[in-house]
Amino acid sequence: MTAVPTRNADGSLVAWRQQALDFEREVAKAVIGQERVIRLLTIAVFARGHVLLEGDVGVGKTTLLRAAARAIGGDYERVEGSVDLMPSDLLYYTYLSEDGRPKVDPGPALRHGENLSIFFFNEINRARPQVHSLLLRLMAERSANAFDREYRFPYLQVFADRNRIEKEETFELPAAARDRFFMEVGVKTPSDQETRQELIFNQRFHDVDALVATVKEGVIDFRQLPVIAATIQKYVHASQTLQKYVLDLWSAMQAPASVGISFPGIDMARLIRGGGSPRGLSYLVRGARVNAWLQGRDIVLPEDIRSLFQEIIAHRIFLDPVYELRQEGLTRDLCAAIFAAVPAP
């Protein structure tokens, strides 16, 4: 195993890794008690993947994204999901100018042009499926058509937050939409008393604008991110043994009974309705390469795969409707059972 990935010609991976660690430290100034969430966010940033955040109201998801956007640099845009939001609302808005004439200006997705780096869709499940469709186009192709031309967003990264508390006037993301998200990250309330006390009594955390302002701007040059991401994928390697391990995990996920996995009261032959797409497994390896790089390695180890399996794969496992109400618990147990059943190299 090589200690640090320096095999690229100019050794820039080492300098970029330092930038990534600096990025984490800056975000941690504004968000405490969420070290793993910040690491997952860093992996997504350097894997160029879009992120779906889940968590209770008031746990700091918006603060986390504002801090990350400030550290990445580029332009930031936020849209609030609502039942009356239409796709056109993302592209343009109309109004009457001072002279009483109708005017049309670019909307939130277009007005920053190529400098748009972070697009935050708050409460995405409040928006209609038509809006989801446009968002998927933005995510998949980093482009949109409006005003008789195509707009391109080469540095765009989408973050979306899903309100899981309220069910009225919400539209669940379809399977195809969830599969487009690189990672689904749960943001939980910190459990240790010291962090809870800080969040409640330290006035530093009461003014979010001032708190986010403490984060250094542009720790990473957002225009370099596509190049950095491609270089990581090129120079951090997955051995043949590791590749076989990933394929074995995939097979076990699609047919858990074939590797001896069984749960009491569950028809294992019926349990999985759809289990991980090729895109999902390729995302898993992409994230594992970034994780290895952040750990100072140029080769992927089984623990890189296992450490990201839940966040990258679990939301791509779709159960038979009979078991949908138990989706979260069953997929978590299934992931753990797969690791126990498939021997690591």
DSSP output for 106-159? E-TTTTTGGGEEEEEEETGGGS-HHHHHHHHHHHHHSEEEETTEEEE-TT-EEE
For 199-212, give one letter per residue: b (16+ CB within 10 A) or e.
Answer: beeeeebeeeeebb
Tens digit of each residue's pLDDT, the chain (345 residues): 545 555 565 678 999 999 999 999 999 999 999 999 999 999 999 999 999 998 888 888 889 989 999 999 999 999 998 889 999 999 998 888 888 888 888 999 999 999 999 999 988 888 888 898 899 889 999 999 888 899 999 999 999 988 766 666 677 787 778 888 999 999 988 889 999 999 999 999 999 999 999 999 989 999 999 999 999 999 999 999 999 999 999 999 989 999 999 999 888 888 888 777 899 999 999 999 999 999 999 999 999 999 999 999 998 888 888 888 888 889 999 999 999 999 988
- Per-residue model confidence (pLDDT) at position 287: 97
CATH of 236-341 among 1.10.8.80, 1.10.3720.10, 2.102.10.10, 3.60.40.10: 1.10.8.80
Give the pTM.
0.91
> Distance between terminal CA atoms of the chain?
15
Are the C-beta atoms of 87 and 131 separated by less than 8 Å? yes
For residue 177, give the 3-state DSSP assignment.
helix
pLDDT tens digits for 290-311?
A: 999 999 999 999 999 999 999 9
Whole-angstrom distance, CA of residue 187 vs CA of residue 64: 10
How is the chain split into domains, by residue range? 27-221, 236-341
Whole-angstrom distance, CA of residue 317 vs CA of residue 335: 10
CA nearest neighbour of 177 among 84, 270, 279? 279
How far from the centroid of its chain's Cα atoms is residue 140's Cα?
A: 14
CA nearest neighbour of 236 among 155, 305, 292? 292
pLDDT tens digits for 28-62?
A: 999 999 999 999 999 999 999 999 998 888 888 88
- Per-residue model confidence (pLDDT) at position 167: 66
Per DSSP, helices labelled H in the chain are 12-30, 35-47, 61-72, 87-91, 129-141, 175-180, 193-201, 208-213, 225-235, 240-254, 268-271, 278-294, 302-313, 327-341
CATH of 27-221 among 3.30.450.20, 1.10.287.3510, 3.40.190.10, 3.40.50.300: 3.40.50.300
